[in-house]
Structure 1
Amino acid sequence: MRVAMASVPRETGRANEDFVGVLPTAAVLLDGAGMSGTESVCAHGVAWYASRLGGELLGLLALDPDQELPALLGEAIGRVADAHRGTCDIADPSSPSATVAILRLRAGRADHLVLGDSVLVLDRVGAAPLVIADRREVVAAQRYRSVLDGVAGDRDAYQRALMHYRRTYRNQPGGFWVAKDDPRAAAEALAGSLPVADLAGAALFSNGASRIVDRFGLADWPEVLAVLAGGGPAEIIRRVRQAERGGAPGEGRPRPVAPDDATIAYCTHLAEGRDAG
């Protein structure tokens, strides 16, 4: 397997809270998340959490290649929780979390997993791309949007409402699921498998990169795959940054959009991966 990667922080000089790493037969991408107050409950921070969880995942993928991906992710979440529960309040809604995307080649199959709003796109031979996107957080946020909008002018009230939202919906039945402190969240991931022979490639995106499609509408997924094949991940991120500076199209007048960490792993030659065939 060959992998081209690009990862750019939201601002120059600021820590990148995304993580991407690869093995000969696997790619892992995480998008770390926090909120106001994270530093007061976790001494390590969001970037540490994403990197530590990503490292645990890569180690488990290498050492236990036959374990099912949700079980493997659950074990990694538990290990990271154990690593900082003695120094940090890991159950607090403000403590770091991450979304996860994994691609693994094993015995002629391409196993995949998505938890949270990272996106994994499978480039199928002779068929439209298969997009693995977890929309549960979008649905939950829409249900709660009127509450947050109602207190948008009061910073303290907004933070209290946001904390209530996370307690009510994050890693709760009927809400959405991310990697945080509870290994059971991994069982809620979107996971599946396809024959490697059916795929021309695959791409993993943090939500700061997938916004080229799902926020800005600058391209559809076949077009994104074509750009990746020609210009690589850096070209997609360049176009995202350009859109952020000029504003999303179709809004009446251009206005800037806050940038986010943006990361892509573009995987090709899947059949060349060790043990893939």
Structure 2
Amino acid sequence: MRIDLTTEPGDPARPNEDYASVAVPASGQGGSLVVLDGVTPPSGDAGCLHSVPWFTAHLGGALSELSATRRDMTLLDILSTGITRTADTHRGTCDLSHPRTPQATVVLARWDADVVEHLVLSDSALLVEAPDGTVTALLDDRLSRVPRACLVSDEVADATVRNKEGGFFTAAADPAVASRAVTGTLPRADVRALAAMTDGVTRWVDTFGEGDWTDLFALVRKEGASGTVSRVRALETADEHTRTHLRRSKTHDDASVVFAEL
């Protein structure tokens, strides 16, 4: 089994709001991965004393533990429980009903000798490579369907469409949001490798148009997780002044990749 992971802040002077982890038992049979992209809030009150990195660390830790140890729970149950557990740690000090309470996108995957389970919530991505080399992108595309008029920037949506019917959903403080995730199960024999990534990496495809999902997967396999992020950073830097592609987006975003060759 080959495992490759990197997570890098967009700005070295600011904390990384992403979270990425992989768990593989000592036997080498089976495993799980978690990738979160914390949502950077606009300036102003968010009703919470805690930072986005605090939130992703707590939620990511809960999801990592549960997905690695609770095979009796579905990924939906794991996400719901992880959200509840995280909310309980600051329910007494913070307004968790605030629309800008800390939140994150989620990718979960878990595999054993028989199946590969997956869960995707919001705009991080899970790429699945079949034994014949075919790559399938497992996506929750609801954010991409939000009207541009509802976006504060190209990457931040107005609170009127966040965790609302007809908008899109992220993991915040309401465990019921787990039911909104895109989920599924694939036969283990149909999966050769997985690549989970935040939108700081998927912009290689959907912002810069350097290739399709198959091309991006090939880049991760060839140059590794860190090498792939370096390629994205070079594209961001080249576009920093012309804003040909990034327009209203931040120049450098936090970027995380987890590659698992099963």
Is TM-score (shorter-chain normalized) higher than 0.5?
A: yes
Which residue among 42, 53, 72 is the counterpart of 1:47? Answer: 53
Letter in 2 for 1:17: E
CA-based RMSD: 2.4
Which residue among 188, 198, 202 is the counterpart of 2:190? Answer: 198
Query: What 5-or-longer segments of structure 2 have no aligned partner?
Result: 25-30
Which residue among 150, 157, 162 is the counterpart of 1:170? Answer: 162
C-alpha distance in 2 between matches for 1:232 and 1:198: 22
Q: Is the 8 A contact 1:177 1:185 kept in 2?
A: yes
Question: Is residue 3 from structure 1 mapped to residue 3 from structure 2 by the alignment?
Answer: yes
CA offsets 1:194-251 (integer angstroms, 9 cap, x no match): 1111112010000101110111111222222222222101111111111111129x97
For 1:273, the equivalent position in structure 2 comes to none
Letter in 2 for 1:175: G
Shift of 1:128: 2.6
Cα gap change, 1:40 to 1:77, in 2 (>3 Å):
closer
For 1:68, the equivalent position in structure 2 comes to 74
Alignment of 1:121-200 (within 5 A): 121-126=127-132, 128-142=134-148, 144-145=150-151, 165-166=158-159, 168-200=160-192
Shift of 1:2: 2.9
In percent, how many aligned pairs have the same letter? 35
Cα gap change, 1:94 to 1:3, in 2 (>3 Å):
same
C-alpha distance in 2 between matches for 1:17 and 1:129: 28
Shift of 1:141: 4.0
Q: Indicate the SS of the match to 1:16.
A: coil
* Structure with bigger gyration radius: 1
Letter in 2 for 1:41: G
Which residue among 54, 57, 60 is the counterpart of 2:63? Answer: 57
C-alpha distance in 2 between matches for 1:71 and 1:254: 37
Letter in 2 for 1:177: F
Cα gap change, 1:190 to 1:66, in 2 (>3 Å):
same
Letter in 1 for 2:183: A
C-alpha distance in 2 between matches for 1:253 and 1:100: 25
Alignment of 1:99-138 (within 5 A): 99-126=105-132, 128-138=134-144
CA offsets 1:22-80 (integer angstroms, 9 cap, x no match): 11100100000131346652222100101100000111112311311111101110111
Q: Is the 8 A contact 2:32 2:110 kept in 1?
A: yes
Q: Is the 8 A contact 2:150 2:161 kept in 1?
A: no
C-alpha distance in 1 between matches for 2:245 and 2:177: 41
C-alpha distance in 2 between matches for 1:254 and 1:230: 26
Query: What 5-or-longer segments of structure 1 have no aligned partner?
Result: 150-158, 271-277
Cα gap change, 1:254 to 1:30, in 2 (>3 Å):
closer
C-alpha distance in 1 between matches for 2:224 and 2:108: 19
For 2:86, the equivalent position in structure 1 comes to 80
For 1:259, the equivalent position in structure 2 comes to 252
C-alpha distance in 2 between matches for 1:31 and 1:253: 21
Q: Is the 8 A contact 1:246 1:254 kept in 2?
A: no
For 1:211, the equivalent position in structure 2 comes to 203
Letter in 2 for 1:45: S
For 2:232, the equivalent position in structure 1 comes to 240
Q: Is the 8 A contact 1:31 1:118 kept in 2?
A: yes
For 2:12, the equivalent position in structure 1 comes to 12
